[in-house]
Amino acid sequence: MRNALLLLATLLVPMNSLEAAKPVNLVFILTDNQGAWTLGCYGNPDIRTPHIDQMAAEGLRFTRALSSNPVCSPTRATFLTGLIPSQHGVHSFLDPKFMMGPEAYNTLQEFTSLGEVLRDAGYTCGLSGKWHLGANMTPSEGFTTWTTKPDGSTQEFYDQKVIENGQLRTEAGYTTDLWTRKGIEFIQANKARPFFLFLAYNGPYNLGKLMTNPPQNRHAAYYKGKPFTSFPRDAMHPWQWANKQFHNTQTAMERCAAETSGVDDGVGEIMAALKANGVDENTLVVYAADQGWMGGQNGMWGMGDHFRPTGAHELMMQIPLLFRQPGRIPAGTTCDALVSNYDFMPSVLSHLGFADKRPQQPKSPGRDFSPALRGEKLTNWDHTIFYEMETTRAIRTERWKYVARFPDGPFELYDMQTDPQERFNQFGQPGTDDIKAGLAKQLDTFFATYADPKYDLWKGGGSKAKRHTD
């Protein structure tokens, strides 16, 4: 009798209530070395990104999202754990020996990451794309489906080594298309159950010898000889250390544009697959980059690690950050709050209904911006974010940015309201001492609160990655 009553009660529940009760799927699309400024939805007039732009039009676009580090491995660890490099210990890009071979190990082993939280909540988790967090041959961190690269850097996008089903093989084709194809296969295989797809493109990449090679994908002909007004042709900055061979070159601009459009193709296919498999409205799709990238602004090409001293320019930090879920996230909205990638994990878990499953140790500096995903204003939001690259640290507030380098500088101070391009370093200028002192105190307090002594490089700690110095 009791079972019959339960069945009757279920039948009487409206179908939309049953749909709402289903756990929300997550598709997290993460690109490699992509400044927000390279996308149409962030104002780029030269590079075609219609599908990413459509995603922004159908959801929420953060206008001031910044990464907490300018390098691949640390930022990926931060996205997945909500921790900063001085907590998770991955301060730079991971040495290849830690990804494959006898010294390979999982750099996130000691933490509870996003995939593990969702796995424990009943999700099937799959990775398609770049991992770069160690022990690449075997699935970890809650993932059971695992197609990835054996390394972190990208030499080319064609005929490259990949890892699938625990085997190393050569993919005879365009690897951007491979990651998309595997992502679609994962969606098709898991559409009847809650799933988390981590679609981690290694494009557009935009660095290394790759940028001296003309593009080969279907967009190459369109960009051939095209004038790129969005790439400033400033004289090379004196701190430029890498990438000098393709600074301000037409080939590098064409390569960046073509690979960006190649990723955009994949985004379009993924969005179509969600609709075709009937899971579009019950899937949160996030689009982001691991860190920002500069293409000539202030005479700078690349990301923070390509400069000596290492850089902390806004465009090395600024990343695209888009959220889309029809019916739950209002279309065509923007949020101007200063947010960091360490805010990502707590916000996503909250949106998915798992705020109570957020790891409590180590204590994350991450804040919950999920009210913005519901169209609500972020009240009492602290527009302050922090950044670190080995011995370089920075604080960015609504008005000011202060950059400190251990132990003796150089130091930088910018008024981001009057000088958003960071052209005029005010450090040491008359009338700025109190501003500098206040920002320095905030910076020190933040790291004193969150840094783990064994990974605090300013106080003798170490790094899980090979430290890179010249």
Q: Across residues 63-81, what is the average pLDDT? A: 97
Query: 17: burial class by Cβ within 10 Å (0-12, 13-18, 19+)?
Result: exposed
The mean-pLDDT minimum among 6-15, 187-196, 294-303, 407-416 falls in: 6-15
pLDDT at residue 239 tops 50: yes
Share of the chain above pLDDT 90, in %: 94
User: Cis omega before residue 50 (within 30°)?
Assistant: no
Q: What pLDDT is attached to residue 47?
A: 98
Q: What is the DSSP string of 80-92?
A: HHS--HHHH---S
Q: Cα torsion at 156, 160, 163, 164 (round to 10°)?
A: 120
pLDDT at residue 470 tops 60: no
* Residue 98 φ then ψ, to 5°: -90, 0
Q: What is the chain's Cα-based Rg?
A: 22
- Tokens linked to 410: 């150089």
**Chain segment 115-154, per-residue pLDDT in tens:** 999 999 999 999 999 999 999 999 999 999 999 999 999 9
> Quick one: angle between helices 72-81 and 344-352, nearest 10?
30
What is the β-pairing status of strands 283-289 and 25-32?
parallel
Helical residues (DSSP H) of 163-226, grouped into ranges: 175-190, 220-223
pLDDT at residue 15 tops 50: no
**Chain segment 277-293, per-residue pLDDT in tens:** 999 999 999 999 999 99
- CB of 305 within 8 A of CB of 389? yes
pLDDT at residue 16 tops 50: no
Q: Across residues 203-221, what is the average pLDDT? A: 96
Q: What pLDDT is attached to residue 19?
A: 46
The CA-atom distances, in angstroms, between 131 and each of 71, 135, 146 are 13, 9, 10
Q: What pLDDT is attached to residue 18?
A: 43
Q: What pLDDT is attached to residue 412?
A: 98
Query: 181: burial class by Cβ within 10 Å (0-12, 13-18, 19+)?
Result: middle
**Chain segment 374-390, per-residue pLDDT in tens:** 999 999 999 999 999 99
Q: What pLDDT is attached to residue 21?
A: 73
Q: Across residues 244-268, what is the average pLDDT? A: 97
* Residue 387 φ then ψ, to 5°: -145, 145
* Cβ-proximal residues to 83 (8 Å cutoff; 6+ apart), any chain: 77, 111, 342, 362, 364, 365
Q: What pLDDT is attached to residue 14?
A: 46
Domains and CATH numbers, the chain: 23-383 (3.40.720.10)
**Chain segment 413-462, per-residue pLDDT in tens:** 999 999 999 999 999 999 999 999 999 999 999 999 999 999 999 999 99
Q: What's the chain's average pLDDT? A: 94
Query: 213: burial class by Cβ within 10 Å (0-12, 13-18, 19+)?
Result: middle
pLDDT at residue 400 tops 60: yes
User: Cis omega before residue 309 (within 30°)?
Assistant: yes
pLDDT at residue 215 tops 60: yes
Cross-strand pairs, 307: 240
Q: What pLDDT is attached to residue 467?
A: 44
- What pTM was estimated for this model as a whole? 0.95
* Cβ-proximal residues to 449 (8 Å cutoff; 6+ apart), any chain: 365
Q: What pLDDT is attached to residue 115?
A: 98
- Taking phi over 0 as left and psi of -120 to 50 as alpha, with beta for the rest, 198 belongs to beta
* Cβ-proximal residues to 321 (8 Å cutoff; 6+ apart), any chain: 36, 61, 62, 65, 286, 287, 288, 339
- Tokens linked to 203: 């494009």
pLDDT at residue 348 tops 80: yes
pLDDT at residue 10 tops 70: no
Distance between CA atoms of residues 61 and 55, nearest Å: 9
Distance between CA atoms of residues 56 and 264, nearest Å: 12
The secondary element (H helix, E strand) that includes residue 101 is none
**Chain segment 294-318, per-residue pLDDT in tens:** 999 999 999 999 999 999 999 999 9
pLDDT at residue 17 tops 90: no
Q: Across residues 78-92, what is the average pLDDT? A: 98
The CA-atom distances, in angstroms, between 274 and each of 104, 179, 353, 417 are 35, 16, 21, 41
